[in-house]
Amino acid sequence: MAMFKQYIIVSPGQDIQCKEETLSKAIADLPPKGVLIKVHSSGVCHTDLHQWLEGGFRLSDSEYLLFASREGMGYPKVPGHEISGTVYKFGPDVREDESSLSKGDSVIVYPWIACGDCRYCERGNNDHCTGGKSQEIGMNINGGYSEFVIVPHYRYAVPLPSAISIDMGSVLGCSSLTVYNAVKTGLAELPEAGDWRSDDQFHVAVVGLGGLGSWAVSFIPLLFKPAIKPNVAITGIDINESKLSTFVDEGLIQNSFHLSTLKPPQEQASMCRDKISTKGYQIIFDFVNNPLTFDVSIRLLGNHGVLVSVGLFGGTGNVQLPLLSLGRKKIIGIHTGSYNLFKEMLEFLASNIDNIKTPTLSVYPLADCMKALRDVKEGKISGRAILKVNNET
């Protein structure tokens, strides 16, 4: 009897456990229009850490948004929402001519399915779902820390562009999509290009140069309007001085500021403005989003500026409300992106791959998922960590 391995979070704070499942059961459990994917690689996301360690997102020192309080997101659960692999088996109602996919085709899984049936989901705008019951692979559907994963509908197994490696494909369904959405949304909120003089310096800050920030510093120059692009100056802000130096040396950022956990936000914002010689940033992307980074970012924001709040490290932030109103500043929250945007991003990546500095991948065997999670937690990863599940695919 063919078996496969799954790595399961039984309860928050406990070590992940390996369990064997029968392949015949996975095939029998396939939804009518579903597809069974043989997992090649699975990204290790910070959300996996929240699932494993805390069981939710920290809202304040005493308050959490618990996964178990949301429908279907309790435990035990197989984590992993960033997945690449190959088509293994279609559900019983998928006609041979219905899908462009065939067995063995390389795919990337789009995990944020939502209800999948309402008018928004049917049009690919899953982030506007009104159907009520959400489906999220790795969250309330067993995910990619497994040798096989069930995708509820074959449309969410998206063909892997030939220009993108299958390992890199495993980090696109969350981190890359989230950054693409953040940059496009943030730039759409800025004044029209004609409102900027040709000699204006356009200051952009990227807070957190990890797995998300490393995508952002490549996406920003490519997505800016041509009239602004020549004068864009990116400041990287991070607590890791070595990482900042590497990004400067590689020409990915023009300025850097070392963030300290020991100095108050107001002092650090003033120090950063003095170092960069700016009164404020036109747009800031906070890919950490904890109390320190938020408080520094909101103080760095210039008049008419946009703060794009992305990270889920958690906590509360302080806003000086009169300055928000008087400066006509905007704060926008971003979380992943729609199915349509995911397909658009894949086309963008494939056509610009030679101009994009993709994150360094630290590769671990699936059996070492606990080590990978601990290394991410301890900040040992430069770029992204992935689990190599099936080497032969």
Residues shown for the chain: 393
CATH number of the CATH domain containing 258: 3.40.50.720
Does 155 share its domain with 208? no
Does 167 share its domain with 183? no
Is 349 a domain residue? no
Which domain, by its residues, includes 59? 3-171+359-388
Does 363 share its domain with 306? no
Does 33 share its domain with 153? yes
Tens digit of each residue's pLDDT (9 = 90 or more) over 327-380: 899 999 999 999 999 999 999 999 999 999 899 999 999 999 999 999 999 989
Is 99 a domain residue? yes
The DSSP code for 118 is: S
Distance between start and end Cα atoms, the chain:
21
For residue 377, the tally of other CB atoms under 10 A from its CB is 13
Peptide bond into 76 cis (omega under 30): yes
Q: Report the pLDDT value the prediction gives residue 194, as an integer from 0 to 100.
A: 47
Is 346 a domain residue? no
Is 9 a domain residue? yes
pLDDT band at 102 (very low <50, low <70, confident <90, very high): very high
Given a cut of 90, whether residue 196 has pLDDT beyond it is no
Is 342 a domain residue? no
Does 165 share its domain with 185? no
Assess contact for 110 and 342: CB atoms under 8 A: yes
Q: Report the pLDDT value the prediction gives residue 225, as an integer from 0 to 100.
A: 67
The DSSP code for 194 is: G
Is 100 a domain residue? yes
Secondary structure class of 23 (helix, strand, coil): helix
Residues 6+ apart with CB under 8 A from 188: none
Does 167 share its domain with 181? no
Lowest mean pLDDT among 90-94, 298-302, 312-316: 312-316
> 44, 64, 354, 284: which is closest to 174 by C-alpha?
44
pLDDT band at 69 (very low <50, low <70, confident <90, very high): confident
DSSP letters for 300-345: HEEEEEEEEE-----------HHHHHHTT-EEEE--S--HHHHHHH
For residue 28, the tally of other CB atoms under 10 A from its CB is 9
Does 305 share its domain with 187? yes
Does 297 share its domain with 212? yes
| Dist. CA 344–CA 334, nearest whole Å | 17
Secondary structure class of 352 (helix, strand, coil): helix
Does 155 share its domain with 224? no
Q: Report the pLDDT value the prediction gives residue 199, as an integer from 0 to 100.
A: 55
DSSP letters for 33-81: T-EEEEEEEEEE-HHHHIIIIISEEEEETTEEEEGGGSTT--SSB----
Does 183 share its domain with 233? yes
Does 19 share its domain with 159? yes
**Which of 295, 317, 333 represents a domain boundary (last residue)?**
333
Number of domains the chain contains: 2
Does 221 share its domain with 318? yes
Tens digit of each residue's pLDDT (9 = 90 or more) over 214-232: 999 999 999 986 656 668 8
Is 94 a domain residue? yes
CATH number of the CATH domain containing 65: 3.90.180.10
| Dist. CA 356–CA 226, nearest whole Å | 17
Q: Taking all residues of the chain, what is their mean pLDDT, rounded to a whole number?
A: 91
| Dist. CA 245–CA 180, nearest whole Å | 24
Is 55 a domain residue? yes
The DSSP code for 126 is: G
Residue 278 to residues 77, 82, 282, Cα–Cα distance (Å):
48, 38, 10
Assess contact for 204 and 306: CB atoms under 8 A: no
Positions of E strands within the chain? 3-8, 17-22, 35-44, 56-60, 63-66, 83-90, 106-109, 148-151, 157-159, 202-207, 232-238, 255-258, 281-286, 301-309, 330-333, 361-365, 384-388
Q: Is the pTM of this model over 0.85?
A: yes
Tens digit of each residue's pLDDT (9 = 90 or more) over 81-95: 999 999 999 999 999
The DSSP code for 151 is: E
